[in-house]
């Protein structure tokens, strides 16, 4: 039987947590070469690279991220064991660990998760944002309970998981008040040549909109493309351009970003999914998320 060297695990965990060998050596009070050598030995034992160098910084590899999550659990249990043995009170709440795909609107994630957590209290919510493919890999390793995404499972992805449709809605365009008023008249033809802020081409909503524009021979002027949805809305708030978002969060977007609607494309539909390893939802939190989506968020099919 192979055993993990927990000194190696501690050195790895500390470097991952602090972001550098220099800071880890200060925290552990060990020489930098000692830590470097022990981590290299740990990688040799595991047969995997845990870190990749990016400039002067160390970044976790995909395997490194998995190892770090296990290390977090291991050292958390160790601290809990010490508290129990010393008679200190221990409060261990159940957790739900949710992966949120980077293209999934944060406001919809909030509307889904906040009432769920309140309903199931006490429970600790852990949210992890990343690319869908990385989140699905974590789901397969049982490091996540569910993944929220804007696309169903790709049949080419070799992960045994199931897509649960949460709901769908149309797409509304928003802009700063003066810009919205200017392009509202004649919508959607008014978008021809209009300054648009768009998600990047790997997002589902962007592909759907590009297809719709091509079918109508409308050619907007894309002045910005964004991986991050929040940053896109901030630029939109500043008046740089018009941006699309799911109609189901129209009220929240107007209130939060002080923008106004330009118009809604009912023909373009965006869908949202919860992906889990359960074919039929059994986890209480996942059932609650599904019910929240159907009854309160997407119930009117906006």
DSSP string, 148-180: EESSPPPTTS----EEEEEEEEEEEEEE-HHHH
pLDDT tens for 84-114 read 788 776 556 677 889 999 889 999 999 999 8
**Per-residue pLDDT, 160:** 82
Closest CA to 171 of 100, 71, 85, 272: 272
**Per-residue pLDDT, 118:** 81
Q: How are beta strands 146-149 and 124-130 bridged, if at all?
A: unpaired
pLDDT tens for 158-209 read 778 899 999 999 999 999 999 999 999 999 999 999 999 999 988 899 999 9
d(CA 148, CA 212): 25
pLDDT tens for 10-67 read 999 999 888 889 999 999 999 999 999 999 999 998 999 999 887 777 888 888 888 8
- Domains assigned to the chain: 6-85 (1.10.10.10), 95-167+272-297 (3.40.190.10), 168-270 (3.40.190.10)
């Amino acid at each position: 039987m192979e055993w993990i060297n927990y000194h190696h695990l501690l050195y790895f965990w500390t470097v991952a947590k602090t972001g550098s060998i220099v800071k880890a050596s200060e925290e552990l009070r060990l020489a930098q070469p000692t830590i470097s050598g022990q981590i290299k030995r740990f990688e040799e034992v595991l047969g995997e690279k845990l870190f990749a160098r990016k400039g002067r910084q160390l970044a976790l590899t995909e395997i490194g991220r998995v190892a770090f999550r296990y290390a977090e659990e291991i050292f958390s249990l160790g601290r809990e064991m010490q508290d129990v043995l010393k008679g200190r009170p221990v409060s261990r709440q159940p957790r739900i660990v949710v992966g949120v795909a980077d293209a999934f609107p944060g406001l919809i994630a909030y509307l889904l998760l906040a009432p769920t957590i309140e309903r199931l209290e006490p429970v600790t919510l852990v949210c992890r944002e990343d690319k869908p493919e990385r989140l699905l890999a974590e789901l397969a390793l049982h490091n996540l309970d569910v993944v929220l995404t804007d696309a169903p499972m790709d049949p080419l992805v070799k992960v045994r998981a199931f897509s649960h449709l949460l709901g769908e809605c149309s797409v509304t365009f928003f802009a700063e008040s003066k810009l919205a008023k200017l392009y509202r008249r004649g919508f959607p033809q008014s978008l021809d040549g209009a300054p648009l802020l768009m998600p990047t081409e790997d997002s589902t909503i962007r592909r759907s909109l590009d297809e719709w524009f091509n079918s109508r021979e409308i050619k907007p002027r894309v002045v910005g493309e964004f991986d991050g949805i929040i940053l896109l809305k901030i630029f939109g708030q500043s008046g740089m351009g018009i941006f699309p978002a799911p109609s189901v969060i129209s009220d929240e977007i107007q209130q939060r970003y002080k923008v106004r609607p330009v118009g809604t494309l009912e023909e373009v539909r965006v869908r949202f999914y919860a992906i889990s390893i359960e074919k039929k939802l059994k986890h209480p939190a996942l059932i609650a998320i599904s019910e929240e989506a159907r009854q309160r968020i997407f119930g009117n099919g906006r």
